Amino acid sequence: MVGEGESFRVEKCLYNKEIVAVKHVKLGQNDYHRLQSVLLEIQIMRHGPLRNHPNILSALGYGWKEYGERLLPYVVVDYAEHGSLREWLRKTRTDPKVKFKLAGDIATGLKALHVCDIMHGDLKLDNILVVPSPGRGVRVVAKLSDFGHSIILRTWTRDFKYYGTIL
- List beta partners, residue 25: 8
More confident residue, 155 or 146: 146
What pLDDT, in 10s, does the model give residues 3-41? 887 778 899 999 889 999 999 988 776 677 888 888 999
Q: Is the pLDDT of residue 112 over 60?
A: yes
Residue 77 has a pLDDT of 96
Positive or negative torsion for Cα 31, 34, 40, 44: negative
Positive or negative torsion for Cα 25, 28, 32, 36: negative
- Residue 160's pLDDT band, with cuts at 50, 70 and 90, is low
Q: What average pLDDT is seen over the chain?
A: 88
Q: Which residues of 115-130 are buried (b: 16+ CB within 10 A; e: fewer)?
A: ebebebbbbeebbbbb
Distances from the Cα of 167 to the Cα of 75, 85, 106, angstroms: 27, 19, 20
What distance in Å separates the CA atoms of residue 150 and residue 153, rounded to the nearest whole number? 9
What distance in Å separates the CA atoms of residue 55 and residue 85, rounded to the nearest whole number? 13
Domains of the chain and CATH, by start: 3-155 (1.10.510.10)
Closest residue by Cα to residue 40 from 139, 142, 149, 158? 149
Closest residue by Cα to residue 10 from 115, 99, 83, 63? 83
pTM: 0.88
Neighbours of 163 (CB within 10 A): 16
